[in-house]
Amino acid sequence: MNLLLTASGLRNATLRDALRDLLGKPFASANIVYVPTASVAEPGDHGWLIADMNRLHTLGWREFDILELNGLPRRLVRDRLAHADVIYVSGGNHYHLARSITGNGLAEDFLELLESRVYVGLSAGSMIFSRNLTAHSADVIGDTADLHVLGATTVEPPFGLYDWYLKPHLYSPDFPERDDAWADRIIERADFPVYFIDDDTAVRVTDGKVDVVSEGRWRFGAGTG
């Protein structure tokens, strides 16, 4: 399983090269499917989504598909995902994304397909692999509002592959509160490991091995709560 879990997509050459290495062939020879599901639960201006989609499209794919996970038959969703070499899942509300995967019975399909495809996550799309994606972690991280806006108080992690949690946009000007003091407070409360990554960084998982690729800054906290 090859995952490239970014905060803000392929914003620099290091991250683009990391994807090319995972893919093992030129982008022009590959199909990509872009999943915007998490974004539809996020209010406000979606210029960031359009910018990310345009940036990704300019890499020159053989085929660039866009797929919403809700409202389509499961078999059709699976077939569209299976047609892609790269499954790219965008940002927004990670709880809505997780609930869309579990609610539509897609978790097993995703896991099976990712044995032979590359997954790229952006923000919410990068946060759904932890077994600590729970109401407890929402309280620890300070994300309960994102869960409650869905009319929910609980969330089931769709995959539960890793004990570590990923929190994006460290030091981001779009999230000015996400500084070292913010990360320190989370680490003090957390009883699980947390990767904090900035917008030029990704956590890479290659056949079970986890490392970080970056042109920016990141932190790792083992959790002391």
Give me the tens of pLDDT residue by residue for the chain, a chain 225 residues long: 999 999 999 999 999 999 999 999 999 999 999 999 999 999 999 999 999 999 999 999 999 999 999 999 999 999 999 999 999 999 999 999 999 999 999 999 999 999 999 999 999 999 999 999 999 999 999 999 999 999 998 999 999 999 999 999 999 999 999 999 999 999 999 999 999 999 999 999 998 899 999 999 999 998 775
CB neighbours of residue 98 within 10 Å: 23
At 225 the pLDDT is: 59
186 three-class SS: helix
Q: From residue 55, how far is each of 51, 52, 98, 134, 158 by CA, in Å?
A: 6, 5, 25, 32, 28
At 222 the pLDDT is: 87
User: Which conformational region is residue 170 in: left (phi greater than 0), alpha (psi within -120 to 50 degrees), or beta?
Assistant: beta
33 three-class SS: strand
CATH fold of 2-221 reads: Rossmann fold (3.40.50)
Give the residue among 40, 125, 49 at the shortest CA–CA distance from 87. Answer: 125
Query: Nearest 5°: phi and psi at 39?
Result: -70, -25
The model's pTM is 0.96
CB 203 within 8 A of CB 212: yes
Give the residue among 86, 112, 103 at the shortest CA–CA distance from 6. Answer: 86
Q: Structure tokens of 86?
A: 């790269």
Residues forming a β-bridge with 166: 195
Cα–Cα dist 178/199, whole Å: 12
Cα–Cα dist 16/104, whole Å: 31
Cα–Cα dist 141/148, whole Å: 14
